[in-house]
């Protein structure tokens, strides 16, 4: 079976797009060999490495940035003698990873990598020439045909080599030489102490290319290269120019590029600076993650990273975001991926990457993320239990506490040792876990301030400590259930408790009244306006219990002048002013339009009243009188039904229900009302109206008097909005249906008799 080639996808050609593998500056080892020249993002997986790449158009435009997940040439972290791992299990991991990616559409698959049986196939080994900047398949130094991976167990054992299915060792060989000559050389990417001396390393393979005058593949560059002489002479420059991209046949998954590693993301969430992250990565020689940190730093500077980073609620925001991350990680663990069981949890967490959305949205930058395990996963091993609680729950519980407590002072490697103090072995087969001993010995590590990158100087309100204890409690429950069936935590119970806690944190974070300092520090004028509008809104939305409670003051208008009655007990929330008006009491020399009348508020009612000093309520409202809609004003004749206005309308449920009629009274005028329809300024020329006598003023005329309508009465009426002008000095006349009242008898002083303004509040209900 011929292995597919990746060359058509990576070499320049006429294709619309190609896969460009990112390079790094060329460096050589102390022995003169060329260092790996490709941008390695991470090698934390025991079997895989992540390399940066991008899909380009034929013009060179970047279509998409991607991660290349492929096999390592060696598995230094996987000891097959202690773990039972072997090459067949690794291939099984790749098949399961391919199936997950194909179902979830999270990978970009190539047609040549999927066989006729639907299984993922390995690509041929791939080498790279720095001088020519081209890839090629390594040929056999003796015959020029392609090398292959030896899976013949009988052949391997006969040559003193480890069998392929029962080990993690791999060897290249030449099938044509074996068939035609009866012997072949074996090549390994790194020599093992168990390998016989006949095994050749990559240097011997590369120098052997110089003996070829021709090769089976046209892609092999050395046979026709003008630099061949200097590459393969005594200087061996080929060793500084040729490097294996993948020494062995390799699996490949092309995944969309992630934004930042989980370790770095958790550090940024709790307050670490990007500069500090760069220094830490340089110190630990994890150079592949530095470009990701720099890219996220640039994006965060152009967006809003958090909601409450300068607010006390930053604790709740960090806790909410960290729990969201841990919840996504829990779904990965509970999905059955078991690669984390055989490696330290911090290494597995290092293989989790965060994708941050680049699109503009209404949430802050760090609120839109998705956690993904960029690795091939794993398969259940025969000597380890394949289901929770033992493996997955303990791993997840350990990672849980790292997510909550990991900061500048507490490193990832410290957390397993701290948690292990809670384990107590009862016998050779069983153990228990008690968090009490851990909390007593390391109580300072579990305070809520440790959620911050720099806990010193931080404080968390006591009212939020319960949420913190509940978050720790989920971690304790996971650890307990991993060692004891009695404390077993089912997946359903875990998600129920998790969703409840996450919802409580979210509700507390956004509950009404939790204002930040910036929100509270508004201008005093805005605060006053906000308070006034809030009072108005509460007054409108309040449902009155009785009609009497709607009236703050009561004033009785009568034809005679009764003696003031004894005041009744004050109604709740009643203003301090009550005034009795009489049609005959008004002094002609003092009109209601004077300045002193502007500050007077009057409420009319038919009950007994009490007189109290006036009080100023608002500079805008001159005089206000509220009256029940069923009340008849004495001295104005029999009440008449207002004429309907076809153009009027009433808006239900709003303030308009209370502002349906306007009655303008003049204490010195006659008692008959003049009824006109609201909405106009002039009477129709064909209609007559009784003019009101001009009012003579004592003293100079106030120019502002024309606009001072001192008293207004608003009544509720089914007939719509109507205006009633009452003049006691005029003879009784029938109300007019005139649609407006602009020319009231043609008097230039018509505004003089508009001396009082009365607001009559209707009965509701």
Instruction: Identify the band that residue 622 occupies on the pLDDT scale cut at 50, 70 and 90.
Output: very low
Rg of the chain in Å (alpha carbons): 44
Percentage helix, strand, coil for the chain under 3-state DSSP, each rounded to 5: 35, 15, 50
Tens of pLDDT, residues 463-521: 999 999 999 999 999 988 888 766 677 888 999 999 999 999 999 998 865 444 434 44
SS3 246: strand
How is residue 537 written in tokens? 């809104």
Q: For residue 560, what pLDDT is reported?
A: 46
SS3 391: helix
How is residue 44 written in tokens? 């934390």
Question: Within 13 Å and on the Cβ side, how many CA atoms surround 699?
Answer: 8
Contact by Cβ (8 Å): 728, 594 = no
Tens of pLDDT, residues 347-380: 678 889 999 976 667 788 999 999 988 888 765 5
Q: For residue 81, what pLDDT is reported?
A: 61
Could you give the percent of the chain with pLDDT greater than 70? 60
- How far apart, in whole angstroms, are the C-alpha atoms of residue 468 and residue 480? 19
- How far apart, in whole angstroms, are the C-alpha atoms of residue 151 and residue 138? 18
Bridge partners, residue 746, by sequence: none
- How far apart, in whole angstroms, are the C-alpha atoms of residue 342 and residue 384? 9
Phi, psi of 436 (to 5 degrees): -60, -45
What are the b/e assignments for 92-111, b being 16+ CB within 10 Å?
ebbebbbebbeeeeebeebe
Question: Within 13 Å and on the Cβ side, how many CA atoms surround 366?
Answer: 29
Instruction: Identify the band that residue 244 occupies on the pLDDT scale cut at 50, 70 and 90.
Output: very high
- Residue written as token pair 């204002």: 515
Instruction: Tell me which long-range contacts 271-275 makes (C-beta under 8 A, separation of at least 24).
Output: 271/318, 271/452, 271/453, 271/454, 272/408, 272/453, 274/300
SS3 726: strand
SS3 435: helix
Residues 6 or more apart in contact with residue 42 via CB below 8 angstroms? 49, 50, 261, 286, 288, 289, 350, 351, 374
Which value, to the nearest 10 degrees, does the dihedral of the CA atoms of residues 179, 185, 188, 190 take?
Answer: 170
Could you give the percent of the chain with pLDDT greater than 90? 32
Contact by Cβ (8 Å): 611, 554 = no
Tens of pLDDT, residues 106-132: 788 888 888 888 889 999 999 999 988
| Cis bond upstream, residue 389 (ω within 30) | yes
Closest CA to 248 of 351, 168, 144, 141: 168
- How far apart, in whole angstroms, are the C-alpha atoms of residue 11 and residue 5? 11
Contact by Cβ (8 Å): 284, 229 = no
**Mean pLDDT score, 384-398:** 65
CA-to-CA separations, 319 to 397, 446, 456, 744, 757, in angstroms, rounded? 16, 14, 18, 73, 60
- How far apart, in whole angstroms, are the C-alpha atoms of residue 453 and residue 446? 14
Pairing relationship of beta strands 252-256 and 260-261 according to DSSP bridges:
unpaired
Using the 8-state DSSP alphabet, how is residue 595 labeled?
H
Q: Which H or E element spans position 672? A: strand 661-677
How is residue 284 written in tokens? 């630990």
- How far apart, in whole angstroms, are the C-alpha atoms of residue 650 and residue 659? 9
Tens of pLDDT, residues 70-93: 999 998 766 656 667 889 989 988
Tens of pLDDT, residues 7-35: 999 987 767 788 999 988 766 666 556 67
pLDDT tops 80 at residue 210: yes
Contact by Cβ (8 Å): 188, 180 = no
Closest CA to 308 of 257, 281, 272, 269: 269
pLDDT tops 90 at residue 136: yes
Longest dimension (CA), the chain: 138
Q: For residue 302, what pLDDT is reported?
A: 87
Tens of pLDDT, residues 393-409: 888 888 999 999 989 88
Phi, psi of 150 (to 5 degrees): -85, 120
Pairing relationship of beta strands 62-71 and 48-57 according to DSSP bridges:
antiparallel
Question: Within 13 Å and on the Cβ side, how many CA atoms surround 11?
Answer: 17
pLDDT tops 90 at residue 647: no
Q: For residue 431, what pLDDT is reported?
A: 73
- How far apart, in whole angstroms, are the C-alpha atoms of residue 648 and residue 85? 87
- How far apart, in whole angstroms, are the C-alpha atoms of residue 274 and residue 42? 19
- How far apart, in whole angstroms, are the C-alpha atoms of residue 349 and residue 183? 46
- How far apart, in whole angstroms, are the C-alpha atoms of residue 367 and residue 324? 9
Full DSSP string of 489-535: --HHHHHHHHHHHHHHHHHHHT-TT---HHHH---HHHHHHHHHHHH
Closest CA to 252 of 107, 353, 379, 371: 107
Contact by Cβ (8 Å): 162, 147 = no
CA-to-CA separations, 620 to 508, 535, 614, 663, in angstroms, rounded? 42, 17, 16, 19
How is residue 710 written in tokens? 């001192």
Three-class DSSP labels, 186-200: CECCCCCCCCCCCCE
Q: Which range in 32-46, 458-472, 572-586, 714-728 is most confidently predicted, on average pLDDT?
A: 458-472
Using the 8-state DSSP alphabet, how is residue 462 labeled?
G
How is residue 755 written in tokens? 């001396």
How is residue 361 written in tokens? 């949205």
């Amino acid at each position: 079976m011929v292995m597919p080639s990746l060359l058509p996808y990576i070499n320049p050609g006429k294709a619309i797009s190609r896969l460009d593998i990112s390079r790094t500056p060329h460096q050589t080892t102390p022995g003169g060999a060329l260092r790996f020249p490709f941008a390695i993002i991470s090698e934390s997986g025991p079997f895989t490495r992540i390399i940066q790449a991008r899909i380009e158009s034929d013009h060179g435009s970047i279509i998409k940035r991607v991660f290349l997940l492929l096999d390592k040439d060696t598995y230094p972290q996987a000891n097959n003698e202690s773990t039972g791992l072997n090459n067949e299990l690794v291939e099984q991991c790749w098949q399961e990873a391919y199936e997950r990616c194909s179902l979830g559409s999270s990978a970009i698959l190539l047609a040549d990598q999927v066989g006729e049986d639907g299984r993922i196939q390995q690509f041929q080994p791939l080498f790279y020439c720095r001088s020519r900047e081209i890839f090629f398949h390594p040929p056999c130094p003796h015959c020029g045909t392609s090398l292959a991976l030896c899976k013949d167990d009988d052949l391997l054992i006969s040559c003193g080599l480890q069998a392929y299915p029962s080990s993690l060792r791999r060897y290249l060989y030449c099938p044509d030489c074996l068939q035609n000559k009866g012997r072949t050389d074996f090549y390994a990417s790194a020599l093992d102490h168990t390998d016989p001396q006949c095994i050749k390393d990559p240097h011997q393979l590369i120098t052997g290319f110089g003996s070829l005058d021709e090769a089976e593949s046209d892609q092999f560059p050395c046979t026709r290269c003008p630099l061949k002489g200097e590459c393969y002479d005594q200087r061996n420059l080929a060793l500084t120019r040729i490097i294996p991209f993948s020494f062995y046949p390799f699996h490949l998954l092309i995944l969309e590029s992630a934004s930042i590693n989980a370790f770095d993301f958790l550090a940024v969430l709790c307050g670490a600076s990007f500069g500090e992250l760069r220094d830490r990565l340089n110190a630990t020689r994890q150079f592949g993650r530095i470009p990701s940190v720099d890219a996220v730093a640039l994006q965060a500077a152009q967006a809003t990273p958090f909601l409450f980073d300068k607010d006390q609620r930053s604790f709740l925001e960090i806790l909410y975001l960290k729990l969201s991350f841990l919840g996504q990680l829990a779904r990965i663990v509970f999905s059955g991926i078991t690669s984390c069981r055989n490696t330290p949890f911090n290494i597995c967490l290092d293989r989790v990457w965060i994708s941050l959305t680049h699109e503009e949205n209404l949430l802050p930058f760090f609120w839109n993320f998705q956690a993904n395990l960029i690795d091939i996963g794993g398969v259940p091993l025969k000597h380890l239990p394949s289901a929770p609680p033992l493996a997955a729950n303990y791993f997840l519980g350990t990672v849980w506490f790292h997510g909550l407590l990991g900061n500048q002072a507490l490193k990832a490697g410290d957390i397993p040792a701290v948690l292990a103090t809670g384990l107590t072995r009862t016998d050779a087969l069983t153990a228990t876990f008690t968090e009490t001993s851990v909390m007593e010995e390391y109580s300072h590590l579990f305070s809520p301030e440790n959620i911050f990158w720099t806990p010193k100087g931080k404080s968390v309100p006591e009212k939020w400590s319960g949420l913190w204890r509940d978050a720790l409690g989920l971690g304790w429950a996971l650890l307990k259930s991993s060692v004891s069936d009695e404390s077993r935590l089912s997946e359903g119970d875990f998600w129920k408790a998790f969703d409840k806690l996450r919802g409580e944190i979210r509700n507390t974070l956004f509950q009404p009244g939790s204002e930040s300092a910036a929100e509270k520090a508004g201008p005093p004028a805005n605060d006053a306006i906000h308070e006034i509008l809030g009072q108005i809104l509460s007054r409108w939305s309040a449902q009155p219990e009785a009609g009497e409670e709607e009236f703050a003051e009561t004033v009785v208008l009568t034809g005679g002048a009764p003696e003031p009655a004894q005041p009744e007990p004050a109604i709740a929330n009643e203003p301090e002013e009550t005034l009795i008006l009489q049609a005959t009491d008004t002094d002609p020399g003092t009109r209601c339009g004077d300045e002193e009348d502007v500050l007077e508020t009057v409420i009319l009612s038919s009950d007994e009243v009490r007189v109290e000093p006036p009080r100023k309520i608002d500079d805008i409202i001159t005089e206000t009188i509220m009256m029940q809609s069923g009340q008849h004003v004495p001295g104005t004749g029999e009440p008449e039904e207002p004429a309907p206005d076809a153009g009027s309308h009433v808006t239900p449920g709003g303030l308009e229900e209370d502002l349906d009629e306007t009655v303008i009274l003049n204490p010195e005028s006659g008692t008959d009302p003049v009824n006109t329809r609201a909405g106009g300024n002039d009477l129709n020329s064909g209609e007559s109206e009784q003019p009101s006598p001009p009012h003579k003023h004592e003293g100079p005329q106030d120019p502002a008097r024309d606009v001072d309508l001192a008293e207004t009465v608003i009544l509720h009426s089914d007939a719509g909005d109507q205006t009633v002008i009452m003049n006691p000095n005029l003879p009784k006349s029938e109300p007019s249906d005139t649609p407006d009242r602009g020319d009231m008898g043609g008097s230039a002083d018509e505004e003089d008799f508009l001396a009082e303004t009365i607001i009559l509040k209707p009965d509701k209900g």
